[in-house]
Amino acid sequence: MPMQSLIDLFLHELGDIYDAEQRIVQILPQLAGESADPQTQNVYRQHLQETQQQIQNIEQCFQVLGVQPQRQNCAAVAGLKQEHDAFMQERPTPAILTMYDLGAAAEIEHYGIASYQGLIEQCALLGQQDCAQLLQKNLQQEQTMLRNVTSLAHQLGQQSASQQASLGLQGGADTLSQTSAGGV
Ligand SMILES: [Fe+2]
């Protein structure tokens, strides 16, 4: 039977973020373990606890609707994890891996923010204010997490850039302009 109702669409999307958050619970401890920066490790660990709470909020949302929680494979977050694993093959230094992971975490948060915003919009159409409130909590935590990882990436990026400059590793602007002059 074709899917034709807004509630079925909503449940599908809720199942997607339900799957995504459970994948993220697996990913966050790995990111914390890989991070060379203690403040970054703390941010991942704190968000792990928040994510566990977010999963409960989603389960409560299913409950409000009288539906058994069901995961829908979230290929997007699974794909970001695959990209991470492929990047590890490049043998990044701890500092570079820390920067990469902050970027990946920001990508994951953007996905979560877009998902929750869409779901909250659908709650309004369906008159599901209780669900909307639960998902709003998740959205706010995702927005805070995005701000945290963005500012850490900025901070650590500045530090890395000045360290590399002092080690003469940068080559940066010169190398880049030579490369572009070479027509690449
Ligand atoms: Fe998150």
Q: 51: CA distance to ligand 1 center in Å?
A: 6
Q: Which of 71, 149, 137 is nearest to 104 (CA)?
A: 149
Q: What is the pLDDT of residues 146-161, one digit of tens each?
A: 999 999 999 999 999 9
97 alpha-carbon distance from chain centroid: 16
pLDDT at 175: 54
In whole angstroms, give the CA distance from residue 123 to residue 144. 22
CA distances from 62 to 33, 65, 126 (A): 33, 5, 14
Q: 11: CA distance to ligand 1 center in Å?
A: 20
Q: What is the pLDDT of residues 2-55, one digit of tens each?
A: 999 999 999 999 999 999 999 999 999 999 999 999 999 999 999 999 999 999
Q: 93: CA distance to ligand 1 center in Å?
A: 25
Q: 88: CA distance to ligand 1 center in Å?
A: 22
Q: 109: CA distance to ligand 1 center in Å?
A: 5
8 Å CB contact between 50 and 28: no
Task: Please tell me the CATH superfamily of domain 6-161, with its number.
Answer: Ferritin, core subunit, four-helix bundle (1.20.1260.10)
- Indicate if the pLDDT at residue 170 is higher than 90: no
In whole angstroms, give the CA distance from residue 53 to residue 174. 48
Domain ranges of the chain: 6-161
**Pair of tokens at residue 84:** 């991470």
pTM for the whole structure: 0.89
